[in-house]
Structure 1
Amino acid sequence: MAYVNPAGEFTRDQRYIPTRITADGRDGYPVEPGRYRLVVSRACPWANRAIIVRRLLGLEDALSMGIAGPTHDERSWTFDLDPDGRDPVLGIERLQEAFLARYPSYDKGITVPAIVDVPTGQVVTNDFAQITIDLSLEWTAFHRSGAPSLYPAALREEIDKVNRFVFADVNNGVYRAGFAGTQEAYETAYHRLFDRLDKLSERLTTQRYLVGDTITEADVRLFTTLVRFDAVYHGHFKCNRSKLSEMPVLWAYARDLFQTPGFGDTIDFVHIKQHYYVVHKDINPTRIVPAGPSLSNWLDEHGREKLGGRPFGDGTPPPPPVPAEVVPAEHGPVG
């Protein structure tokens, strides 16, 4: 499977399944505890958003989570982490099976995160941007006591604005650099990425979080790219003007979030590196996974508390991850 566009600029296929799971069930899928399964891979930044939001909101009991392995082939993500290679709830070996159960001739990407209707075994949605918003707004009846408001009404317009340029220039920007097929396309993406990172550094110099004085959806979306930057994007995707650890403001901001319950405890650096360096064979034909970089500095003091801010607003930190969802210690910053 090829990822690089030999003609030049990488363009992301954004044809996702738009069906929504809502409190009123207007798309035919009402919010019901235990009915759905969130399928993720810890390697994927888009899925990582849903993992974090589910943790912060305390939806573990209402929405179960299946974790696919860090690598996949041309067909789809697989459940090779499970003892018999099958998801224990859905009973399938490949996420592709849930997509084909609903759309037998499905011809778009089999992507994570995806939410599957357990009774029918059919995928409901893989619209990653909408999934996290709906977890915040539609699943409120099942939020934990003390759940933060990640998408507050008063800040939504600003959050949406920030999310648009973060997606275009940073979240997707690293891929536009990494999958570019010409020097011109690569350099355009490279400069766009670092120009935006410089602007974000300026924004975060005087405020602890991207929008308002609490963690919001905007911080979740930026974090999942930043946390992968030095381990993957700097080398593998040639985003190498600077490491994250050489950009003081963004580095402190990322460490602040990493050390916040619900963020760093979802990060599996081993899975992240395995995914990118093994799956993207046209970029890394040897499939050798680098041993570095050192990760212990993720736990260094960040000093961002001096800017004020209340991480969870009027809410509280989430409890520790449930035992079945704990990232192995050796896959973290001290592994």
Structure 2
Amino acid sequence: MRTEMAPCFRAGFSRVELAIVVGMLGLVVGFVLPVVQAARADAARAQCQENLRKLGQGCLEFEKANGGFPPRRTGFQSGTKGGWGPYLLPHIGEADLAKSYSFKLDCYDPGNKAAVETQVKAFVCPASPPNRTLTMKSQASGKSENPDKDSLLTVNGGVNDYITSNGLLLPRGGYGLNTGLVDQMISNQRQAMTDDVYLPLAKITDGLGCTLLLIEQAGRPQTWRNGKQQGKDDLFGMTSNARGMWAGYGSIAFGPAARSDGNTPAHGDATDCSVNCNNQFGIYGFHANGANILMCDGSVRFVGDKLDGLTFALLTLRDDGRVLALDDF
């Protein structure tokens, strides 16, 4: 008796068919992945701008309530050591965190540790490197209510990717001469915020829409030059002078760098770089072709990486008397 044989079926693809499928998947990924990456970059840039708008609105609300912008740094002439960040907490939706922070203690004091080590979303650009903290160590200041003035106090504070100015670092030649100012480290009392006191808007005589309030200077405490991380952290180390912690000193001298390496002093000519070359004193964002800045009227601008050093300087000074049009930057 003849036995009927069951028909045979192939269990999978042939090598040729598999190669075709893999090739098609590669093409799809090749088309889709750049689109997804671009969408993520656009979203990060938009959120970064929204953060600055929020901080700008917080500064304006603070000014309305107190008669001036918050101090960029405290502890020089009065108060405990800290910066503008804690002053904004009630105005940026962080009322509970604000209640847990004491201005009677330094920002690195154990009494402020829980608050300061909280990472506040508004202070961090999502395009910047993740998982950063900034270690700050120092003794209690003379104004602090902490009676222990000898012990070394330490916090690992939440970072801040936005900063204001406490001076200008300009080349001694070229456009540096065109500022009409003789000191390379131009007076640090001519910016939108000042030390220890609330600066009234009336002092910003160049116009609120043409004076920098905050810039992106993202990535601290890491050091970045021309898109590459360097092998050392913030040059200010871990002292109370360190920048990059939202509760700490919120200002640094602004200035361009040589585009060639993003590090050596500017030459005073068109080869200098103000944007995305140096995250220690220049404008620096982890965005393609530019970074975000906040003006004193609360408006946010995306400036390209061709911003010249003189315009950067004039935007930083609040009272230089030069008139800038919106298309100048």
Same fold (TM over 0.5): no
Which protein has the bigger helix share? Answer: 1
Which protein has the bigger strand share? Answer: 2
Larger RCO (CA within 8 A; separation ≥ 6)? 1
